[in-house]
Amino acid sequence: MRVTYCYTVPGGITVDRDFERGEAPPTVVLDDGLVAERDFQAEHSPRRRSGDAAWPIECIGSGVNASQAGELREFLKRKGVPTEVTRDGNPVYRDMHHRRRALAARDLHSRNEFY
């Protein structure tokens, strides 16, 4: 399973890199030759989780049985919220607004958000 990790260059810029879970190196070399160190604080920042950097996400909580994946995909498309659905039946939300619209189309909501 690939996971997004954060790396920060001393002085400011934070970048995302995807690696297999548990295989992220402590540093990465960016295209411009700068060395960025893994930034655990940025990875666990609440602001980061709600911003665009954490997206897209595969949502298990709002998923359906694998046999209903195609049905969910078509339903959301008809409701005006085209959404990728994995073979396992889990919707993949592109961003926070897409997630809200897709959940609302199914009369669902997130108890962790204030809307």
**pTM, two decimal places:** 0.54
pLDDT of amino acid 50: 44
DSSP 94-110: SSHHHHHHHHHHTT---
pLDDT of amino acid 68: 96
Domain closes at, from 13, 30, 52? 52
DSSP 33-73: S-EEEE-HHHHT-HHHHHSGGG-SEE-STT---GGGHHHHH
Q: Residue 75 in contact with residue 62, Cβ under 8 Å?
A: no
Q: How far is the C-alpha of 59 from the C-alpha of 115, rounded, in Å?
A: 18
Same domain for 29 and 61, yes or no, is: no
Low-confidence ranges of the chain (pLDDT < 50): 49-52, 115
Query: Which domain range does residue 96 map to?
Result: 57-105
Residue 111 lies in a domain: no
Which residue in 34, 33, 32, 38 sits closest to 19, CA to CA? 38
pLDDT digits (tens, 9 = 90+) for 26-59: 999 987 788 999 988 888 765 554 444 567 788 8
